[in-house]
Amino acid sequence: MKKHLIRETKEKDEEERYSTYKNPDAKLRKEIASFKLPCNKVTLGWPEKEWTILEYEKDEVKCRSGRNTNYFPIDEVKEALEENLKYERNQKYQPHKYFKKHFGIVSKIYKHQKSLSINMLDMTDAATVGSLVGMKDLLDPTGVEFYGYFYNIQLDWREDSIKLKVSRHASSMNIWFDENGDYVNRDYNQNLNEFKNEEADLKMVLAYWRKNLIKSYGKEIEHLNGKYYIKDECLVPYIYDDGDRDPIFGIDIYKSEDKGKTYKKWREKSIKKPKKTEWVNIDHLWNKLMEIMPTNYRDILNGIEVEADGVEL
């Protein structure tokens, strides 16, 4: 996303931060930039009503509405005309309908040692506040939050466990087209400066997980009855799903303090290593993980590629 960044603007209030991104569609950008409206009418006053502009004077503009004639400060009239143009521009060219096409699913990727976290913003089916409640939007479209989906895929690798969790949440982002046909984003909803113009998926996380499993435990491991033994650790695949929250699955790691005879984990029953085990390929453990991976992870991601098979070593 940063490669499209034109400028960042900070207002007096630090909460008000704006970023402008160049529209990659040159034809659309030119079309939006050439969008104009008649400048002979303006909505002003309190209560607001439409006025016909009669003439510009030095510091004021002479306007008429019905039988009433009034003079408004020239700066106030220019601002009102600009706001109306911005409103109509973003009504005709609704930016969230172009965002997905131009930028794809934008992603934030964090790596720390063996852990990996991916946040994705997908505006494919973005909607405005009014449409969500079945009402026509009457607000300035530049002030309306567009809602899409925010995905989180988190692989958390710790001393006593390896967990994978996938979740999806509603997310908002203020975005509109400016007078040049470029995207403007109000960062405090979603700071697009932190995102990259690239897609990331569960397959990427699974490949990262499998690669580090091999680095940590090699290509062969001892196994018996769903438990895997390697040196001073016992690995037990598990899934936790209470039906109320997004399920979590992964590996519980038990540690041995007696050279691989028994394995312990806090608050869990000790595991005694059997006298006889079989050596299996690390794929045996991996296939077990893929077997217990929550089926709704694919549903949560809803169209984002999440195939688990064929992840190369």
pLDDT of 267 reads 82
Residue after which a domain boundary falls, among 163, 178, 199 = 199
C-alpha span between 89 and 37 (Å, rounded): 9
159/222 same-domain check: no
Average pLDDT, the chain: 84
pLDDT of 180 reads 96
Domain assignment present for residue 185? The answer is yes
Domain assignment present for residue 58? The answer is yes
87/101 same-domain check: no
pLDDT of 195 reads 83
Domain assignment present for residue 14? The answer is no
109/83 same-domain check: no
209/276 same-domain check: yes
251/181 same-domain check: no
Domain assignment present for residue 186? The answer is yes
What percentage of the chain has pLDDT greater than the value 90?
43
Q: Which pLDDT band, with edges at 50, 70 and 90, does 308 fall under?
A: very low
- Among 57-61, 99-103, 254-258, 295-299, which stretch is predicted with the lowest mean pLDDT? 295-299
212/188 same-domain check: no
- Among 73-87, 92-106, 168-182, 261-275, which stretch is predicted with the lowest mean pLDDT? 92-106
281/223 same-domain check: yes
- What are the b/e assignments for 48-76, b being 16+ CB within 10 Å? eeebebeeeeeebbebebeeeeeebeeee
Domain assignment present for residue 4? The answer is no
138/193 same-domain check: yes
Quick: pLDDT tens for 26-47.
Answer: 999 999 999 999 889 998 888 8
Q: Which pLDDT band, with edges at 50, 70 and 90, does 264 fall under?
A: very high
Return the higher-pLDDT residue of 199 and 208: 208
Asked whether the CA dihedral 115, 121, 125, 130 is positive or negative, the reply is positive
Is the model's pLDDT at 217 over the cut of 50? yes
129/172 same-domain check: yes
Residue after which a domain boundary falls, among 148, 166, 199 = 199
Residue after which a domain boundary falls, among 75, 92, 109 = 92
186/208 same-domain check: no
Q: Once rounded to an integer, what is the mean pLDDT over residues 165-192?
A: 85
Enclosing domain of residue 40 = 36-92
Q: Which pLDDT band, with edges at 50, 70 and 90, does 139 fall under?
A: low
Domain assignment present for residue 12? The answer is no
Secondary structure (H, E, C), the chain = CHHHEEEEEECCCCCCEEEEECCCCHHHHHHHHCCCCCCCEEEECCCCEEEEEEEECCCEEEEEECCEEEEEEHHHHHHHHHHHHHHHHHHHCCCHHHHHHHHCCEEEEEEECCEEEEEEEEEEEEEEHHHHCCCCCCCCHHHCCEEEEEEEEEEEECCCEEEEEEEEEEEEEEEEECCCCCEEEECCCCCHHHCECCCCCHHHHHHHHHHHHHHHHCCEEEEECCEEEECCEEEEEEEECCCCCCCEEEEEEEECCCCCCEEECCCCCCEECCCCCEEEEHHHHHHHHHHHCCCHHHHHHCCCCCCCCCCCC
C-alpha span between 309 and 197 (Å, rounded): 26
Q: Which pLDDT band, with edges at 50, 70 and 90, does 193 fall under?
A: confident
Radius of gyration of the chain (CA): 29
Count of the separate structural domains present in the chain: 3
73/108 same-domain check: no
pLDDT of 103 reads 81
Instruction: Name the nearest CA neighbour of 154 among 215, 185, 216, 200.
Output: 200
- Among 81-85, 107-111, 127-131, 236-240, which stretch is predicted with the lowest mean pLDDT? 127-131
pLDDT of 306 reads 38
What percentage of the chain has pLDDT greater than the value 70?
84
Domain assignment present for residue 15? The answer is no
Amino acid at 72: F
Domain assignment present for residue 54? The answer is yes
169/80 same-domain check: no
Q: Once rounded to an integer, what is the mean pLDDT over residues 5-10?
A: 77
